[in-house]
Amino acid sequence: MNKPLVSVVIPVYRALDYIEQTIQSVMSQEVDSEIIIVEDKSDQLSTSIIMRYKEKANITYVENPKRLGVAANRNIGIDLARGKYIAFLDADDWWSDDKLKKQLKLIESKDTVLVYSGRELMSHCGEPTGKKVSVPLVVDYNKLLRGNVIPASSVLLKSQVAKEFPQHHDEFHEDYIMWLEILKKYGYGYGINEPMLKSRLSEGGKSRDKRKSALMTWEVYKLMNIGFLERCYLFVCYSLKGVLKYI
């Protein structure tokens, strides 16, 4: 039986110091994969690094003529994907070697559309912080509304589902919106509570500004057409979860 192909979509913007480690972590996976790198226009293009790896791995590289944002970059990667499954990986994150192998086993055994994993928080320089973030073994739409427990760079999902629900509203939490839309239709996502994602705490990221992140979450609730009172309740749940995550 042929092994399923996994298309790994990597959006890149000013990641010259990180992209090599990210690519190497994909190449170390024990699955058949293609790497789709979509780079936004900047003064720090990683073309030379990526080209060194094109001879060693199945890499498609797209350089945007202007900056489009992470949601559009992921959507370009989704459109180009040839695999049965798509995995997202940010250009400053990386995986443990067995990440995709374990997730493929889970997604096929559960006959589900989306799986995710826990993560280990790393410093800006890539050193362990000692903090590991757990994830629930199963989540549905209603539980996910109380707070996003699905790290974007940990997700593996069916390609046909990713193409059905492209990312949008880059000014908010585009990944959170995608997970909510998917689970609202398909029911459940399943997690592996192991820190297989190494998540770099990059300076200036959207999620690092807690006030801004909270306001964006409120806007996500509005986008999902949730009434005001329920929004208030969910926002309290989200706020408490956010505090507990980093204790």
State the 10-residue block means of pLDDT for the chain, 247 residues long.
90 94 97 97 90 92 95 98 98 97 98 97 94 96 95 98 96 96 98 98 65 92 95 90 59
- What pLDDT score was predicted for residue 133? 94
- How many angstroms separate the CA atoms of 143 and 138, rounded? 9
- How many angstroms separate the CA atoms of 234 and 84, rounded? 34
| Nearest CA among 88, 99, 91 for reference residue 21 | 91
| Nearest CA among 205, 203, 199 for reference residue 21 | 199
- How many angstroms separate the CA atoms of 235 and 239, rounded? 6
- pTM for this model (two decimals): 0.94
- What pLDDT score was predicted for residue 207? 54
Please classify residue 239 by burial: count the beta carbons closer than 10 Å to its beta carbon, then call 0-12 exposed, 13-18 middle and 19+ buried.
middle
Topology classification of domain 6-245: Spore Coat Polysaccharide Biosynthesis Protein SpsA; Chain A (3.90.550)
Neighbouring residues of 78: CB distance < 8 A, sequence distance ≥ 6:
9, 86, 159, 162, 163, 166
Query: CA-based Rg of the chain, rounded to a whole angstrom?
Result: 17
For strand 188-200 and strand 138-140, is the pairing parallel, antiparallel, or unpaired? antiparallel
Which helix (DSSP H) or strand (DSSP E) does residue 212 occupy? Answer: helix 210-223
DSSP annotation string for 25-72: HHHTSSS-EEEEEEE---S---HHHHHHHHTTS-EEEEE-SS---HHH
- How many angstroms separate the CA atoms of 237 and 117, rounded? 21
Q: Is 94 helix (H, G, I), strand (E, B) or coil?
A: strand
- The residues spanned by each domain of the chain are 6-245
- What pLDDT score was predicted for residue 243? 58
For strand 114-122 and strand 156-158, is the pairing parallel, antiparallel, or unpaired? antiparallel
